[in-house]
Chain A
Amino acid sequence: MPDRFSLSTARKIAWREARASSTRFLFVILAVSLGVGALTGVRGFSQSFRGMLMRDARQLMAADMTVRAFALPTPTQESVLEKLARSGVDQTQVTETVSMLSIPSQSTPVLVSVKAVDPAVYPFYGALKLNPPLTLRQALQADAVAVSGDLLVRLDIKTGDTVKLGEANFRIAAVVTAEPDRMAGSLNVGPRILMSRAGLDRTGLITLGSRAAQRVLFRFEPNSIPVSRARAELKEAFPDAQIIDYRETHPLITRGLDRATTFLSLVSLIALIVGALGVAMAMHSHLQQKMDIIAVMKSIGARSGQIMTIYTLQTLMLGLLGGAAGIIVGLAVQRAFPPLIARYFQIDPGLHWDPGSALQGLATGVLTTLLFTLPPLLSIRAIRPSIILRREMEDARPHWRDRLKNGRTGAIAGAVIIAGILAIGWWLSESLRVGLYFAGGFLASILMLAAIATGILALLRRAARWSRQALPAAIRHGLANIYRPGNQASALLVALGLGVMFTLTVYLVQKSMLVQIANSAPPGMPNVFLINITSLERDGIAGMLHHQKGIQGPAEVIPIVSARMLRIDGAAVQDLPLKGFSRRFRQSRSVTWSDSLNSQTVVTEGKFWGPKDTAQSAGVQLCVGEDVAKILSVKPGTRIDWIAGGRTFTAQVSCVYRSEAVRIGSNLEFLFIPGALDGIPTLHFAAIRMQPALVAQLQRDVFRRFPTVTVINGADVLAIIQDVVDQIALVVRFISFFAILAGAIILASSVAGTRFRRVREVVILKTLGATRRRIAGIFSVEFLLLGAVAGILGSLLATGFSLLLLKRLFQVDYRFEPWPHLVAILLTAILANIAGWLASYRILQQKPMEALRNSL
Chain B
Amino acid sequence: MEILRGINFAVPRGQFIAIMGPSGSGKSTLLGLLAGLDTPTAGSIVLDGQEIAGLAEDSLALIRGRKIGFVFQSYQLIPTLTAIENVLLPHELAGEANGLARAMELLENVGLSERRDHYPIQLSGGEQQRVALARAFMVRPPILMADEPTGNLDSANGEHVLELLLSMNRREGTTLVLVTHDATLAAHADRILRLKDGVIVGDELRA
Contacts and interface: CB of A to CB of B under 8 A. Distances in A.
A454 interface: no
Interface stretch (B13-21, B87-95, B168-176): B87-95
Contacts of B135: 300
A301 B62 contact: yes
A360 interface: no
Given A20-B119, A305-B58, A388-B72, A300 B80 contact: no
A134 B155 CA distance: 100
Contacts of A20: 79-82, 119
Given A293-B80, A853-B121, A299 B31 contact: no
Nearest to A292: B76
B158 interface: no
Contacts of B97: 4
Contact of A301 (B77, B85, B93): B93
A632 interface: no
A386 B37 contact: yes
A579 interface: no
B95 A300 contact: no
B182 interface: no
B38 A301 contact: no
A9 B90 CA distance: 12
Given A306-B93, A389-B147, A381 B57 contact: yes
Given A386-B37, A854-B121, A302 B61 contact: yes
Which of B64, B77, B80 has the most C-beta atoms of chain A within 10 angstroms of its own C-beta? B80
Interface string B62-90: 11111011101000111111100100011
Nearest to B139: A301
A390 interface: yes
A12 interface: yes
Interface in B141-161: 147
B29 to A, nearest CB: 8
A627 interface: no
B120 interface: yes
B32 A389 contact: yes
Nearest to B59: A303
Contact of A300 (B57, B64, B96): B64
Measured as residues with beta carbon below 8 angstroms from the partner, the interface class of chain B is: 35 or more
A689 interface: no
A156 interface: no
B76 A299 contact: yes
B200 interface: no
B80 A303 contact: no
Contact of B66 (A19, A301, A381): A301
Interface string A354-389: 000000000000000000000000000100111011
B57 A304 contact: yes
Interface in A1-25: 1-6, 9, 12-13, 16-21
B35 interface: yes
Interface string A263-297: 00000000000000000000000000000110011
Contacts of B109: none
A302 B121 contact: no
B113 interface: no
Interface string A389-405: 11000000000000000
A848 B39 CA distance: 37
A18 B28 CA distance: 32
Contacts of B90: 300-301
A208 interface: no
Contact of A296 (B31, B68, B78): B78
B65 A302 contact: yes
Contact of A297 (B35, B78, B85, B121): B78
Contacts of B62: 1, 301, 303
Contact of B38 (A13, A18, A306, A384): A384
Contacts of A304: 57-58, 61
Contacts of A9: 92, 95
Nearest to B31: A389
Interface string A478-491: 00000000000000
A4 B79 CA distance: 25
A292 to B, nearest CB: 8
Nearest to B64: A301
B136 to A, nearest CB: 8
Which of B63, B78, B81, B147 has the most C-beta atoms of chain A within 10 angstroms of its own C-beta? B78
Contacts of A306: 93
Contact of B32 (A305, A386, A853): A386
Contacts of B120: 856
Contacts of B92: 5, 9, 12-13
Interface string A664-697: 0000000000000000000000000000000000
Measured as residues with beta carbon below 8 angstroms from the partner, the interface class of chain A is: 35 or more
Contacts of B63: 301
A298 B93 CA distance: 10
A386 B38 contact: yes
Nearest to A302: B93
A295 B51 CA distance: 23
Contacts of A18: 80
A555 to B, nearest CB: 79
Nearest to B61: A303
Given A297-B78, A301-B64, A13 B89 contact: yes
A390 B72 CA distance: 11
B80 A21 contact: yes
Interface string B22-45: 000000110110010110000000
Interface in B95-138: 95-97, 119-121, 135
Which of A13, A304, A853 has the most C-beta atoms of chain B within 10 angstroms of its own C-beta? A13
A293 B75 CA distance: 12
Contact of A856 (B66, B69, B79, B94): B79
A17 B95 contact: no
Contacts of A4: 94-97
B195 to A, nearest CB: 14
B81 A17 contact: yes
B1 to A, nearest CB: 14
Contact of A388 (B65, B76, B81, B139): B76
Nearest to B96: A4
B121 A299 contact: no
Nearest to A391: B74
Contacts of B32: 386, 389
Contact of A299 (B70, B77, B119): B70
Contacts of A19: 80
A385 B81 contact: no
Contacts of A390: 28
A6 B29 CA distance: 34
B57 to A, nearest CB: 7
B30 to A, nearest CB: 10
A299 B64 contact: yes
Contacts of B64: 298-301, 385
A609 to B, nearest CB: 76
Contacts of A12: 92
B24 to A, nearest CB: 12
Nearest to B94: A301
A45 B109 CA distance: 62
Nearest to A293: B78
14 contacts: A1-B62, A1-B95, A5-B93, A9-B95, A13-B92, A293-B78, A296-B78, A297-B93, A299-B35, A300-B65, A301-B68, A384-B37, A389-B37, A856-B79
Interface of B: 28-29, 31-32, 35, 37-38, 57-58, 61-66, 68-70, 72, 76-82, 85, 89-90, 92-97, 119-121, 135, 139, 147
Given A4-B96, A301-B61, A304-B61, 18 more contacts: A1-B94, A13-B89, A20-B119, A21-B79, A300-B90, A300-B93, A300-B135, A301-B64, A302-B93, A304-B57, A384-B38, A388-B76, A389-B31, A389-B37, A389-B72, A390-B28, A854-B121, A856-B79
The 10 closest A-B pairs by CB, nearest first: A301-B65, A4-B95, A20-B80, A5-B95, A386-B37, A386-B38, A386-B32, A303-B61, A303-B58, A385-B37
